[in-house]
Each structure stands twice: as C-alpha cells, then as structure tokens.
Amino acid sequence: MIHHESTGDGPPVLMGSSLGTSLHMWDAQLPLAERFRLIRYDHRGHGDSPAPPGPYEIADLAGDVLELGIDRAHYVGLSIGGMIGMWLAANAPERIDRLVLICTSAHMPPASNWQERAATVREAGSTEPIADAVVDRWLTPGFAADHPQERAKLRSMLTSADPEGYAACCGAIERMDLRADLSAITAPTLVISGADDLATPVEHQRLIAEAIPGARHEIVSPAAHTAAVEQADAVNRLIEEHLS
C-alpha cells in the first residue's frame, strides 16, 4: 500500500501531488484540515511509498489510491495527481464526490520528452541531473528567489524520489491520453491554472474545463506549476469554496 497521512476531521479529501514530489508538497494546504480530513499520499516511487517494478500506467497509480479503501471522497490533484483524479472520476465515479484539478493535463505529447527524461534518470541512477531544470519550472523566478527554503524543499523531494519509480511514472505520462474520458466525468469539477505554468500551460486546463460538463476554470497569478505552493492562500480558498 502506498504511504499516506490523514490530518483533521470532516469530509475526506484525497490529495495527489506533482510528479517528483511527496505528500509534503501539500503542507501549505494543512489549514484546510480545520474543515476536512486531508488524506495526503505519496505516489509509488515517491516519498515513503514503495517502487514496484514498472512499467506503470495512470490506471495503476489510480488503483493505488483505490486500495487505500476510502469509500467516497473529494479528490484534489496537481500535475500527475490531477491525471489520477481525472482517471478516478471517469472510471470509478462512485468513489469521487467533488474534484479539483490543478496545473494538470489530459494529454502531454511529445512522447520523446518523457522518454528522454526517464532515460537520463535511469542512466544516472538518480533524479539529480534533471532536478534544477524541473524545479525551475515549478516556481516563478521571483517566488523562488524570495523563498529559497521552499525551492530547496521541493528540490529535496525530487532528488529523494526513487529513480526507477520516477522514470516509470514518466512512462505513464508518456502513454497517457485521458481526453476521451473527460466527458464522462460527473463529479462537480474545479480546474485551477497557474498563469505562469510552463510545464502544463493554461491552455491544457482550459481544454479540460471545456470537456468536463459544468466544470469551472480559475487562474491564479503569479504562479508556475506548483501553484498550490506559490499561491497557497488563493488555492486554499478556491478548494474550500468548491468542496463546501
């Protein structure tokens, strides 16, 4: 079973973080535990979760979440966490109440980008060679300069990821295409973009919001890929409003 931590009391909220981060990516969301039971988890190959042999698919990562045994919950996901949320809402709708998708995408070509990143990590036996380039896309330059400890914390999460598990998760994104699933999502959905996100640009979230019936789209600024870190107060307010 994947590693997870439960904080607070109230309606359960599953929280899936970005590729390369642990559940501590959501530390700035802990104030929401005053109203909700936050169930933050580590993807396989990340944080304190095991890294079973690959290849992985998004469905496998979603299956890990289902195995936590939460009968029905809200789901909040960022990046690959959001991809898992879309899969769950489309394929296990009875398990998902409301859905929040942050800085994510339903389809992320070209495949070569993910193949090259996975190959670099496997060759080095470490995520270290890609760490700075990846983290530089997670935060705007201004926020990173003003909050060096936050950048260091995120970078440490990335370099602590299991290299084979991380590479296998890259493979899952490489092969992912959730676009045909979006119209089947019935959970009330909020889509949040970071205005400065270079990893999953705003247009990706706009397409998601247009395809999910009744979805609402909000943009926070300034914010890059880990908008829940950079714009914690704004994101927390949007999450709380949507889940209440």
- Tell me the sheet residues that pair with 192: 102, 218
Q: Is 46 helix (H, G, I), strand (E, B) or coil?
A: coil
Q: What is the CA radius of gyration of the chain?
A: 16
Taking each continuous run of H as one helix and of E as one strand, the counts in the chain are 10, 7
Q: Which residues contact 92 (CB under 8 A, 6 or more apart)?
A: 62, 66
d(CA 87, CA 181): 7
CA distances from 202 to 53, 154, 175, 182, 187 (A): 33, 22, 21, 17, 21
d(CA 187, CA 72): 12
Task: Name residue, tokens 């501590």.
Answer: 24
Can you list the positions of beta strands (E) in the chain? Answer: 4-7, 12-16, 37-41, 73-78, 96-102, 189-194, 216-220
Each residue's pLDDT, cut to its tens digit, for the chain (244 residues) gives: 999 999 999 999 999 999 999 999 999 999 999 999 999 999 999 999 999 999 999 999 999 999 999 999 999 999 999 999 999 999 999 999 999 999 999 999 999 999 999 999 999 999 999 999 999 999 999 999 999 999 999 999 999 999 999 999 999 999 999 999 999 999 999 999 999 999 999 999 999 999 999 999 999 999 999 999 999 999 999 999 999 9
Ordered by where they begin, the domains of the chain are: 4-243 (3.40.50.1820)
Dmax over CA atoms of the chain, in Å, equals 46
